[in-house]
Structure 1
């Protein structure tokens, strides 16, 4: 779900350490893997079991037989935008066997060898960690190798979640030439209208198309596939909007500049906007969209359980995740603890996520400096939250009542702690991605 500024295609690098950071979601945990054959008890699941040992004797690596076509594949469960595939090669022997292996990403399971190639064929170096970077969309990630045993000790796939999955509801202002609105989210990227892959409205003063994401997300990018067989300039001046207003979609916030059609049929609009509805609108012109992809992050804190170290002035902990952003304590929108040596507030996300940002709305009617020195933590330890990893620097209160802490940490519990001071939080938003 996120952060897509530079698109890197066909590049190759070898990691010098096993701890390279990536801003993207780990997609491979707990999934189903298959391979072309089984040798030496090297079952395919070993490559996604979280065991990074590169010694085959540790029962951590896969193994096929030697056949003309040898492959391993993981099913991500749904289509993602894959950004990086990290392979941990066998190190106790035979590392050169992986030379020439190819990584592929796509939506074809039975014909995986026809899926798009991610990066260059593998060239084994001194490191046992091999990285392939790409920007490809698909549900299946495979590694294939001709005429050689295929052994993988771990495979990590990192990427972003596509929000406009099949099955969502799309609407538009009118219908022309049988161009129904669902065509823009049907997974068909054909830009020839004759292939029945594009939407079409009539020409009215206000023409629009809209998708309902099902719940509110933080939208980071909208990718539009324009018609290419004719009439591509019709899309000039179209506006992309994101927000929570369905009936008044034209009042939602604008994502990027109005569209200027160029030589490519793919148009990308970048923004950081929260909303359930993404729309494309155009005045006095037919509106045709062959596909629309929306990428973003999920708000993790809505409707969850929160706790805190103590209760003061009726400032119950759920107030920080109730969707009320009022920063005046008198509006009953903020939490409050007593002043003790250790004061804390914590939300249970229900399961472990990769947390990317914690946004805190501080009290503004008084006492804002009390929050100075507070620490945000993320981890899987509920009872020992103070041992969880720190997200960003300790808080330094400034002129704004909104404080952001950015990190890339995995955990089920997000906490804010403060020593020897009342802890008050008017709202806490946690943004991230599922594991």
Structure 2
């Protein structure tokens, strides 16, 4: 008799779920259509039936169209019961008409799965149990269809047993990928769209955003090729949801046009603010998932992107960016805009963000990437400056090859850059051109060269790298006199910085026949000598200087055979002189026949050890 009374009392209180089995909800993962304040979806499986909202144990969405809450049981179950605890302090009628749906599909966020029950009526503060009679599924959804409403759940408890079936392949594969986008608005980095958080108010800090670009895009690299089943996109709630209208989802293995030319899965014709919308891609194959708004200037904001699929079994295409492992140089330096900025992995294109290189206003300015070995280069992608001056790049040439003659700018030409729109990234096909060096040069005029990112794809050519190591850096140096602290070592410090105050140039007193000498420590067959001249003033002082190479120290080495006479080097430029294998341990630069200052901002020498063909210098 006493047992019957207890059972009747439990039924009256709506607390019978514990009698029918373990609550399997507590081990699951939860999400919901949006977030109201701090009322996260996890509150509905915290084990607490407290039903006053201000006690902090109830989940709540915004006032969504068709609001929903979803429990992922992580595997398929035969669900016996679902028990829901209703809010007590107010608004219990909001739950009326809600549906409980159970199944294995994530279509429409799981809200299209079979229906277990409709909550037609519930007393405030009570816990109500619904019999689902062994319905099979991994997902338990509670959705209020057909109207705008807040969905509040103070506790959800589920009983059931494993179905014995393997759970469907619905893992979100986006979270393991790498992301980039056409530009950056504030701190809204592209990683925000794969942070696992569907929070859709921009100020919550979980949405990515681009600048107002022409054809803005966001790209997910899955790191290998997948058969993509679905792409789910969470739309911004607090404003501007119409910005996403017309966006396209594209999937494929090509990086042409930043991946935006890959086949199209879907067009986002319409989306409710704050909702998550799933698009079926039916096993489309690809490594890259792009979302692009074509044909207009727009901000692209994505609060979450989720992707399901399975590996395609195909090897991912060879699209690694080989530029990031290289060494770089440029014709001169503007401020702190070092050449390394163009291979820092960031396509940020506003100059004040500090991710773009910049030369002085040089004649024929150039930037050079040393890949450290020869490659067959497939593509070169260049990101142009956005905040101003995007036309400066017009007419630039991309050159690829193994020679350092004219700083590499005499190598074969891959392409001429007729134009790149402000802040855009443009890819140039080089069709397997072979070379260790990738140069970008603006020929024929004085100009600033600014590069916000340079990306290169290709594969090793299988050929040995050419003999182009700079053998000057391992030598010892001397000069006729010392002006201030401008020691002779400055000319072999590896920096072509050419403004005297930067502290990378040598300087003698105003000597009669001033000279600078490099001791290579053993005899070499010298192929080339490259000299970088001062930029900020006085570049004509070098005119008439002679390069001499030999093994004698008579007259401090200045009586050795002559390789070349320097008739002129433009301000801040680097000029290469061919010495055709002249043999010697000493390389001298002297200005004969007058009193003069001798300033050298960098001296680079290539060659091979004399009489030792088996000891070729390696590429450096």
| Structures share fold, TM-score greater than 0.5 | no
Given the two structures, how large is their TM-score scaled by the length of structure 2? 0.30
In proportion to residue count, which structure has more helix?
2
Give me the TM-score of the superposition, normalised by structure 1: 0.41
Q: Which has the higher contact order (CA 8 A, sep 6+)?
A: 1
